[in-house]
């Protein structure tokens, strides 16, 4: 009880109002900063999207289909967002519009000033804090807000970001299309050369041996031989029939034997044309085998060439479908009033924070003093 009484007495003895003067003293500097030092920051806003130039989205429902196909644009939006916050874009903006000079238009507000001696890393960090990016989950649009110290500077920076973003989207889409088309074209040229080579080999073979199609010739020869063999069998059967009641010297028997002999010679000649044992003569069956190999090679090369042509056409259509275009849904505007700093909000926030720190400090101090006794 005595300790509690001592603590209560000490709390009563504390001059809260006098101690709280430190907060009011610090608030003077806060008010001076927000009223006299904090530079006005203007914001130029723009909304961007990426769509294919194939026209499918427009046919499906115009601008409404563009806003509804967020799943197809998410990846493009991520690439674009990464590029806008990249050092490459920062260098291009510095080269095109002297970005650092635009951000040095105010020199009093030091927390929001970029210096000539700043490193590229700190410059990029400063740039990211001045260019805010947000992807709208409902529409899939990339909203870009650019801060600057004059309305015109904010619009110039935002417009330059849009122009460089359009170049970036065009370049990556055209590059992918060019690579795809180049590969397909190389395949077409390769199979075309193979097809022409196979065709020339087939034509050279036909010219060398004076035949158009040995396979058809062999087929016709086979039919002729089959007919001769049938005719020979008929004549031999007729001979056996005559010999059953006539002598071999009978004129009919002699004539039929002579006819059978002529048919056999014709059969031997036709057989020799197909598979003669004479090595100096090009055998029809050998020519047919070689011709068949050349024909198969030419046919395969033709099919491969036709497939490559179809793949090339498909690649051309696919490349055209993948060509992307930056859509400016809202052009960078010229702001009329400063959005930042929010002076009243900043002052109240600073007051609450300082008050909270003061309260915590006093509470800790009382606990420490209490434990001394």
Domains for the chain: give ranges and CATH numbers. Answer: 183-322 (1.10.287)
Query: What's this model's pTM, rounded to 2 decimal places?
Result: 0.61
Eight-state DSSP code of residue 111: G
Please give the residue that has the higher pLDDT: either 324 or 89: 89
Token couple for 125: 């960090």
Q: Taking residues 57-69, what's their average pLDDT?
A: 44
pLDDT of residue 283: 62
Q: Taking residues 119-126, what's their average pLDDT?
A: 94
Question: Cα(270)–Cα(249) distance, rounded to whole angstroms?
Answer: 30
pLDDT digits (tens, 9 = 90+) for 337-356: 999 989 999 999 999 999 99
pLDDT digits (tens, 9 = 90+) for 137-150: 888 899 999 999 99
Q: Phi and psi dihedrals of 65, rounded to 5?
A: -70, -30
Please give the residue that has the higher pLDDT: either 267 or 91: 91
pLDDT digits (tens, 9 = 90+) for 303-316: 888 888 888 887 77
pLDDT of residue 18: 47
pLDDT of residue 333: 94
pLDDT of residue 12: 47
pLDDT of residue 243: 76
Q: Is the pLDDT of residue 263 over 50?
A: yes
Question: Cα(356)–Cα(3) distance, rounded to whole angstroms?
Answer: 27
Rounded to 5°, angle at Cα 175 from 96 and 125: 40
């Amino acid at each position: 009880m005595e300790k509690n009484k001592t603590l209560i007495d000490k709390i009563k003895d504390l001059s809260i109002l006098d101690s709280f003067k430190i907060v009011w003293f610090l608030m003077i500097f806060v008010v001076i900063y927000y009223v006299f030092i904090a530079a006005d920051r203007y914001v130029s806003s723009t909304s961007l999207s990426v769509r294919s130039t194939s026209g499918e989205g427009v046919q499906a429902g115009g601008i409404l289909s563009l806003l509804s196909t967020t799943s197809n644009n998410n990846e493009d939006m991520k690439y674009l967002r990464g590029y806008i916050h990249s050092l490459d874009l920062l260098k291009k903006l510095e080269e095109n519009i002297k970005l650092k000079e635009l951000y040095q238009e105010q020199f009093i507000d030091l927390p929001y000033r970029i210096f000539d001696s700043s490193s590229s890393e700190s410059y990029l960090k400063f740039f990211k804090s001045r260019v805010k990016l947000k992807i709208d989950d409902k529409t899939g649009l990339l909203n870009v807000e650019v801060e600057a110290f004059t309305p015109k500077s904010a619009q110039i920076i935002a417009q330059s970001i849009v122009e460089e973003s359009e170049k970036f989207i065009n370049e990556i889409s055209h590059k992918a299309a060019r690579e795809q088309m180049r590969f397909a074209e190389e395949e077409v040229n390769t199979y075309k050369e193979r097809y022409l080579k196979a065709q020339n080999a087939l034509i050279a073979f036909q010219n060398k041996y004076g035949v158009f199609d040995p396979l058809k010739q062999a087929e016709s020869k086979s039919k002729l031989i089959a007919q001769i063999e049938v005719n020979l069998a008929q004549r031999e059967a007729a001979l056996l029939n005559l010999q059953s009641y006539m002598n071999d010297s009978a004129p009919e028997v002699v004539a039929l034997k002579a006819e059978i002999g002529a048919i056999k010679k014709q059969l031997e000649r036709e057989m020799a044309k197909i598979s003669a044992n004479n090595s100096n003569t090009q055998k029809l069956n050998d020519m047919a085998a070689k011709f068949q190999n050349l024909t198969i090679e030419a046919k395969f090369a033709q099919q491969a060439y036709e497939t490559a042509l179809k793949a090339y056409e498909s690649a051309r259509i696919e490349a055209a479908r993948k060509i992307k275009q930056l859509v400016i849904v809202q052009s960078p505007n010229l702001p009329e009033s400063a959005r930042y700093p929010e002076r009243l909000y900043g002052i109240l926030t600073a007051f609450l924070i300082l008050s909270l720190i003061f309260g915590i400090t006093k509470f800790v101090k009382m606990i420490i003093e209490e434990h001394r006794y």
